[in-house]
Amino acid sequence: MARPAAALKASEADEGLPFFLAAEDVKAAAEAWYRWLAKEKRFSRHTLRAYGQDLSVYLSFLSEHLGEPASLADLQSLRQADFRAYLSHRRTDGVGATSVARNLSAVRSFFRRLQKDGRIDNAAANLIRTPKRPHSVPKPLSVNAAQQMIDSVDEADTAPWLQARDAAILTLLWGAGLRLGEALGLDGDKIPQGDSLTVTGKGNKQRLVPILPVVREAIAAYVKLCPYAIGGGTPLFYGARGKRVDPAIIQKAMRNARRALNLPETATPHALRHSFATHLLAAGGDLRTIQELLGHASLATTQRYTEVDAEALLRVYDSAHPRARA
């Protein structure tokens, strides 16, 4: 089974080990935790990097808070007040509630791992209330904006095969609801031939997504122009230098397109996935089916799209209903 492109091997994780300011016993435990997240939990590169940075910031704070690099004995003796001091420190630095909540999640993960490994037994981190995150809903593109975005990258000032590649990837995000990492992680033997495609998503979970003719056609047009061999064991989507295309390249292409089209900053690759769900819901799709297509573990995550659709209906009402205009 092919692993997602964003997942890391343990050896790759070693190369990207963050700096941990701590006593040697804590540093060794932190590095073991980091490799465990990469190898066993199969965190994406982005999430792994964020968790590593979060723990690095936390251990640096502890060094200042305690007056010396923290040892396992120090971690064992930490109280709830010490964790509250860290949260207060982050808020004083201007870090938002969402980021602070993620910071705390990384710290909790580390302490749970320490307990599981029998190094310490301090549950104080789990007793701290997570900061309340601001409520937000997805920001999808309209049907016209999504199509214009794809047309724009297909006409960019790059080689024709790169234009076709970018258009195929964005069509896949909008037409099948894939995450960017899922699309870029596809191997060459995953060229859609029928009406469906098996995708490996978060947590190495697989799901079946329908493939529209327009998606197959966009990918076929790219494959025909691609100068590199595409097959089993190769990437489906290549970068200009013959390696698997980096997500930053697609993000940049979409950034250039949205500027050319005067679209908002929220018009990102992930917004196309949001658009997939919202447009399905608007056309009568049921939430359970959309949940399966998106690969959401919880229906609550998918239910955010009902708010988006309700907002769209209200905008139509406000602009079109005679009594609303009055």
Which residues are annotated as catalytic? 179, 202, 270, 273, 296, 305
Residue type, 317: Y
CA distance 239 to 247: 10
Q: Please answer whether residues 276 and 215 qualify as being in contact, where contact means their C-beta atoms are separated by less than 8 angstroms.
A: no
CA distance 20 to 54: 10
Beta-bridged to residue 210, according to DSSP, are 196
Of the candidates 273, 256, 29, 288, the one whose C-alpha atom is nearest the C-alpha of residue 155 is 256
CA distance 114 to 75: 10
Q: Please answer whether residues 273 and 228 qualify as being in contact, where contact means their C-beta atoms are separated by less than 8 angstroms.
A: no
- For every residue of 180-228, DSSP letters joined together read HHHHHT-BGGG---SSEEEEE-GGG-EEEEE--HHHHHHHHHHHHH-SS
Longest Cα separation, the chain: 72
Which residue matches tokens 């031939």? Answer: 193
